[in-house]
Structure 1
Amino acid sequence: MTIQHPASEFDVIVVGGSYAGLSAATQLARARRRVLLIDAGQRRNRYAHYSHGFLGQDGREASAIVADGRAQLLKYPTVRWLEGSAVRAEAAPLNEDFRVTLADGRAFDARRLVLATGVVDELPPVPGLAERWGSSAFHCPYCHGYELEQGRIGVLATGPLSIHHAMMLPDWGTVTLLLNGAFEPDAAQQASLAARGVTLERAKVSAITDRATVVLEDGRKLALDGLFVMSRTHSGSPLAEQLGCAMDEGPMGMFVRTDMIKASTVAGVYVCGDAARAAGSVALAVADGTMAGVAAHQSLIFGAVAAAA
């Protein structure tokens, strides 16, 4: 027997309640659209106490920025906030809407989807690194480099792209590139690193202790003020792939392909924040979310289009 489903309760479902998702939902709420925001509480920068480089919020607690954004969003009467993990997204049966299903089995339909599901960082398996992620081990120099006060900085190599990190970071301190067997710079790369004052360390890394002290395989210890790692990333959610959104390979991992208005290759699905960027920050996530929210709203009036495949 075919089950008839009622008309969608929501105009837009936003999946992800961090910076990008909050920004998108705010634009839609201000357009008086019915918005459901589903959040699993896994903000990418939850390990970092403070956020830097975001205009007007520089140096504030990262969690406070999100809490303020949520409180402001929920003042709009057309918004519903739902804590839970969205595990399935698909075209809704018998109409042109989308259906999002949660881990507990509840399902909701909407005319448009905004995915702000973020990414997950994959760190090298070095003992002590994960425990320091966000406090003395980082991935973004613009977010955390200044606070190291031009001190001793290590770059833990994960591959040839770590040269990019090592070439940038002398603007923030004295840099040692810890190759850790990840790759060997060629002659031209070594010359470029030397010109930037970067020291190379070829001994394997055994552990990270204290604030950011690197223990080497040969027993030496390098006392550092901070450590940077170019992590690999993977999507924080399977929803975009379930819907058939095209993906692109970035320098650190896969991300969802979008156009200038954050439309994915599936009409009616918009993707913003780190899930749709090769690299990102709080400021970029907020900007992306604003664009996605505005685009989703206008598509309800003028029709949805897909990004070029």
Structure 2
Amino acid sequence: MHDVIVVGGSYAGMAAALQLLRARRRVLVIDAGQRRNRFSHAAHGFLGQDGVDPGEIARTARRQLEAYPTLQWVEGTAQGAAGAKDAFSVATASGVHHGRRLLFALGVSDELPAIAGLAERWGRSVFHCPYCDGYELERGRIGVLATGPMSVHQARMAHEWGAVTLFANGAFVPDGATRAELAAHAIALEETPVARLEGRARVVLADGRRLDFAGLFTAPRNRPASPVAQDLGCALAESPFGTQVHTDEMKETSVPGAYACGDAARAPHSVTLAVADGAWAGMQLHRSLVF
């Protein structure tokens, strides 16, 4: 019987586990090894790790966790969770594991716009967070690929890092107020559909025009990368970014004793925010075991 089973061993899950291990609690981490930022070559905006390979950050964190004798790590996928507070179980290919508490640090799946060539450039020249990747574009031209009306907000934000063109691409129909807002901030609006992406960050339009950019941004819809929390009965919530696991301020879900943190349980998303959310969740889990 573990004190806590952490489903998901990326940044949020490991940050939570660290707090619990330092309280000498028995922690099992189940991780499938699919970090959301696995396509990126460098993490930015994370204090003390700016510009470092995100894979190396994760490997270093795991080595540090493994120095604690109360950690057990299972490489695999959580196939299902059952039970209740003080008597949870999580099934994996290696067997069934038991814990007093659960923490879902599931990460998210990105539902990318259906544009040819986008998936291959995701995390390399197409990004979602200007705080994470805007600086490296060196004030060059930026394209924003719309996924809905909220993309106007993303274009306004991206304008801090370079001259912006917003591609409506049929994701929304800009009204007069939107056009005026974009014009007032010198943001170009392109309504010709996008045919595909090529090169590093070249947008090919349906009329044959090719527009080159230093980088592109888009706002994919997100959902938890695994249905295991929902299958347990944890309530979901809608955010401007998609669907996430609903938690209270203590990071507890609607199922008593089951907690959630990281990208799957908060918005907006970044490595910094995931680590902070995980650390807070780990502390609250420990408190629930004490009190």
Give the TM interval when normalised to the shorter protein. over 0.9
Structure 2 residue 229 is matched with structure 1 residue 237: no
What letter matches 1:67 in structure 2?
A: R
Structure 2 residue 119 is matched with structure 1 residue 130: yes
Question: 115, 120, 134: which one pairs with 1:145?
Answer: 134
Whether the 8 Å contact between 1:253 and 1:278 is mirrored in structure 2 is no
So what's the TM-score if we normalise by structure 1?
0.92
Corresponding residue SS for 1:283:
helix
Written as runs of structure 1 = structure 2, the 5 A alignment for 1:269-284 is 269-284=258-273
RMSD: 1.1
What letter matches 2:226 in structure 1?
A: S
Whether the 8 Å contact between 2:29 and 2:72 is mirrored in structure 1 is yes
Identical-pair percentage: 58
Task: Report the equivalent of 1:73.
Answer: 65
Which 4+ runs in 1 deviate beyond 4 A?
none
Structure 2 residue 20 is matched with structure 1 residue 31: no
Whether the 8 Å contact between 1:87 and 1:238 is mirrored in structure 2 is no
Corresponding residue SS for 1:47:
coil
**How much does 1:96 deviate?**
3.8
- The 1-side partners of 2:222 and 2:211 are apart by 27
Whether the 8 Å contact between 2:43 and 2:51 is mirrored in structure 1 is yes
Structure 2 unaligned blocks of 5 or more: none
- The 1-side partners of 2:249 and 2:57 are apart by 26
Question: 24, 27, 33: which one pairs with 1:41?
Answer: 33
Task: Report the equivalent of 1:100.
Answer: 90
1:64-119 deviation line (CA, Å, top 9, x unaligned): 11111000000000001110000101106xx84100001x2611000001110010
So what's the TM-score if we normalise by structure 2?
0.98
Question: 175, 181, 189: which one pairs with 2:164?
Answer: 175
- The 2-side partners of 1:58 and 1:289 are apart by 19
**How much does 1:11 deviate?**
0.8
Task: Report the equivalent of 1:12.
Answer: 4
Structure 2 residue 230 is matched with structure 1 residue 212: no
User: Which structure has the larger Rg?
Assistant: 1
Task: Report the equivalent of 1:201.
Answer: 190
What letter matches 1:100 in structure 2?
A: V
Aligned residues: 291
**How much does 1:264 deviate?**
1.1
Corresponding residue SS for 2:37:
helix
- The 2-side partners of 1:211 and 1:296 are apart by 44
Task: Report the equivalent of 1:52.
Answer: 44
- The 1-side partners of 2:208 and 2:227 are apart by 43
